Amino acid sequence: MRFSIRNIINYFGSLVIAAVFLYLAFRGMDFDQIWQATKNVNIFWTLMILPCLFVSHFFRAWRWQYLLIPVKNRVSLRNSWSALMIGYMANNVLPRAGEFVRPFSLGKLEKISKSSALGSVLFERILDILSFLLILIVILFFIHQKVSSAFPEFVFLGFRLSIMTFVIVLSIIEAVGTGMIGLLVFKRELGTKIFDLAFRFLPKKLSQRAHRILHSLLDGFLSMKDTKNYLMIILLSIITWGLYAFMMYFPLLAFEKMPADARTLPAAIVLLAISNIGIVIPTPGSIGTYHFFVIQTLQRIYSVDAGQAMSYAVVTHAMGFISTTFVGLAYFIKDHLSLKETLQADFNSNADQPANGEH
């Protein structure tokens, strides 16, 4: 996560993407219309976002414990929760920074290999993308026509792009990536030989370092082989995503002037799936991308008026963004983490030192 010219360019690029999507989401907006819709929301249903949000994070932190068992048999739930919240806070500032800050934080708290913790976070991302794709595929099966009309195809660099194209491409990437990682985890010796060939052109010290980091990263995926924990990982994943759905559903109830079919749990699941397309696009805290996909879904699929749709997007995003940022910052301070050390995270440190002599 070290700062470089490339990282700075990427960051400003993400700000440009956020600005473009904010413009697309709110162009021609009527601030008074948004204010009137926001002023009339039901406070109780709006505040129900927070328990759903933090309980879902609790179950996510619990699932992370199971993913880390091959790295360290007993990771503190408190520390996995703290690192998770710090990671969310980092994502709200720098896009994708949380994927590096979270394992670095846990590595410091639990004295485990930071590269192995990073591997577990990458494996968690694979599980999340798989869950997201399954939900999206089911939705497209039932309401493909509505989604296609709401988000029509467009041509980019000669390619015809649509949500269906996005699902197909992401599914292929997911399958190929998971297959390659699975091969490296289950056939470690074969993977080592392949990377020996790839690293042979590097200087000896650099090659040895690359090997250490690679093996530590693969240790974070070892829960793929730990079949006895599959049931708990699947169960915790279902609970987490179920809570995400209710996090979208309860604030729909707060907007009493929305059409009845928009204020249902199935509508919330559709919102969850399509808004996650926006979350995949790298912007700080999903600013702009989340708003665009939520507003378009509410307006085009459920015929919600612009003021109500924009208000829903602003309120739900703001509550999640502000709460996770403040809680993450509180844990960052409480756990005495250094901003400079975190920004200059070295994932080679302790990479060759398995926790408690495990693995």
Percentage of the chain surpassing pLDDT 70? 90
Residue 9 within any structural domain of the chain: no
How many domains, the chain? 1
Residue 158 within any structural domain of the chain: yes
Q: Residue 207 is which amino acid?
A: S
What is the predicted pLDDT for the residue at 353?
46
pTM: 0.85
188 vs 138, higher pLDDT: 138
Residue 184 within any structural domain of the chain: yes
Please give the average per-residue pLDDT across 211-234, as a whole number.
80
The closest alpha carbon to 309, from 267, 277, 356, belongs to: 267
Whether the pLDDT of residue 43 is over 80: the answer is yes
Rounded Cα–Cα distance for residues 280 and 291 (Å): 13
- Half-sphere exposure in the Cβ direction for 23 (13 Å, CA): 6
CA 88 to the chain's CA centroid: 9
187 vs 42, higher pLDDT: 42
Phi, psi at residue 282, to the nearest 5°?
Answer: -75, 100
Residue 235 within any structural domain of the chain: yes
Residue written as token pair 């490339």: 6
Residue 5 within any structural domain of the chain: no
Residue 183: which pLDDT band, with cuts at 50, 70 and 90?
confident
Residue 249 within any structural domain of the chain: yes
Rounded Cα–Cα distance for residues 175 and 182 (Å): 10
Residue 8 within any structural domain of the chain: no
Q: Using the CB atoms, write b or e for 307-333: b if 16+ within 10 Å.
A: bbbbbbbbbbbebbbebbbebbbebbe
Residue 2 within any structural domain of the chain: no
What is the predicted pLDDT for the residue at 347?
54
Whether the pLDDT of residue 348 is over 80: the answer is no
Residue 89: which pLDDT band, with cuts at 50, 70 and 90?
very high
- Domain containing 232 equals 16-357
Residue 61: which pLDDT band, with cuts at 50, 70 and 90?
very high
Dihedral sign of CA atoms 145, 147, 149, 152 in order = negative
What is the predicted pLDDT for the residue at 346?
53
Q: What digits encode the pLDDT tens for the residues 238-258?
A: 999 999 999 999 999 999 989
Contacts from 347-350 at CB under 8 Å and sequence distance 24+?
347/100, 347/103, 347/104, 347/114, 347/115, 347/118, 347/213, 347/216, 348/115, 348/209, 348/212, 348/213, 349/107, 349/114, 350/107, 350/111, 350/112, 350/113, 350/114
The closest alpha carbon to 255, from 242, 269, 239, 267, belongs to: 267
Q: What digits encode the pLDDT tens for the residues 136-182?
A: 888 888 888 788 777 776 655 556 677 777 778 878 887 888 887 77
Least confident interval from 42-46, 137-141, 237-241, 302-306: 137-141
Q: Residue 261 is which amino acid?
A: D
Distances (CA, A) of 41 to 33, 46, 58, 86, 244: 13, 7, 28, 30, 20
* Winning range, highest mean pLDDT, from 214-228, 229-243, 269-283: 229-243
Rounded Cα–Cα distance for residues 5 and 8 (Å): 5
DSSP letter at 357? G
